[in-house]
Structure 1
C-alpha cells in the first residue's frame, strides 16, 4: 500500500497555534519533509536520527521545523527528508529542482511511508509545499493539505486590529515583486515577506495617506512590532509582514 502525502501548515510562529489535526498528522507520518534554502543542499537528502548533527545548520534554519519540534519534541527521532527549495527566480531551474523533490517523496510513498511536508503558515498561501503537491497530484498519489493559521491573521491579532470589515476588500501581495499599482487597490493590503524590499516599500508609502503597521517574526521569540511607517527601520528580517489600511478621515 502506498503512503499518503500531507502538506501541513504549522502556523506563523507560536507553537500553541498548531492545530490538533496538524499535530496528529505529524505524529502519525513516518517521514517529515522540510524545505531548505541553503545553497549547499543541492539535492533531496534523507536524514536519520544519528545523522542530524551533520545537517544541524539546515535544520536550525528551517523555521517550520523548529516550531513543530517545540510542540512535538519526538519529531527529532523521525526520519527527515530535506528538500532543496532555493530562493531563485529562474523558473526552469526551479522546475527541475521541484521535480527532483517530488521524485524523492514518491520513493518514500512507494515504500508505504506517509510523508508530512511542513510549512510555515498555511500550505495554500505562497507555500513551497504546493510545488511538490501538484507533481504528486499529477501522478495520482493521495495528497492532503492541512491548514495552518496564516501569518497575516496572526499579525493582525498581535497588533490587536481587524483586517477588514463590512464590504472592505483584502489584498495579499508578495512584496518581492513589483507592487506600485497594487498599493492603489481599495481596502486593506497585506505585504508578505517585505524584508529585502523594505526601503523601497517605505519610500512608496511615505507620501501616501495610509495607516501602516508591521510585525517582524510574528509569534517567535524575536518578534518585533512597529506601529507607524516612521517606526519601521530600513532593514528587517525575511519574515516581516506589513498591514496597510486607508487612513481614516
Structure 2
C-alpha cells in the first residue's frame, strides 16, 4: 500500500499545476452540472455561469497569493518585455510584471479562490439567470466542496499528511451522501412536496455543518488575512442562504389564471352564403 501511495505522490509532484487546476475545475463542473440537470436547467447557461465564476475565483486566488507572498516577488526587476534572451537561451515571464501571471507555478490561495467562486456563482444564479435558489443552493455548494476536498487530497498526498487526505475525502463524499439521501427519500416519501422540503432541510443541515467544519479547520491554524476574510464570508454566505432557502421552499405556490374580459360569442348563420363569381 505504501508503494502505491509513493508512486501516486511522485506522479502528482511531477504533474504540472495547470493540469491540477483543470482537473479540479472539471470535477467541480461535473458536480454543478449534475445538480442543475436534475432541475432541467439550460446547459449553455450552466457552463457559462460556472466558467465565469471559476475564472474569477482563480484570479482572486492568484491575487491573494501574490499579496501574501509579495516579499518574494518584490525582489525581481521590472522589464517591459515578457522574455529575456541570454545567448541562445530565452527565458519567459521571469521578471515583473510578467512573473505575476505565472499561475502555472502553482501560486494560488485555493480557499480564497473557492469562496470567490461561490459568491460570484451565487450572484449570477440569482440576478442574471434568476433561477430558484433552493434548486441551485446544493449544486453550487457541493461543487465548491468537491474542488476544495480534492485540493486537500492533492496537498495531503504531496506533503505525506494523512490528516489533509481524510479531510478532503469527507468533503468529496458530501455530494454522494446528499444524492444517496435523495434516492432513499424517493422510495420512502411518496408526496413530492413533502419529499422536496425534507430533502432541502437535510441539505441545509449538511451545508451548515460542513461549513462550520471547514471554518474550524482553517481557524485552528495560522491563516492569512485573505483566508480569514474568506472564512467570515463563507460563514455569512451560508447563514444568509440558509435563511433564504427556508423562505423560498416554504413560499406558497400561487397560480394566477388570466381570464379574458371578452366573452366568446357564438354566431349562428341560418342563411346560406352565396359567393358571386
User: Is TM-score (shorter-chain normalized) higher than 0.5?
Assistant: no
Question: Is the helix fraction higher in 1 or 2?
Answer: 2
Question: Is the strand fraction higher in 1 or 2?
Answer: 1
Q: When the two structures are superposed, what TM-score results if normalisation uses the length of structure 1?
A: 0.24
Highest Rg: 1 or 2? 2
Higher RCO structure (Cα 8 Å, ≥6 apart): 1
Q: When the two structures are superposed, what TM-score results if normalisation uses the length of structure 2?
A: 0.22
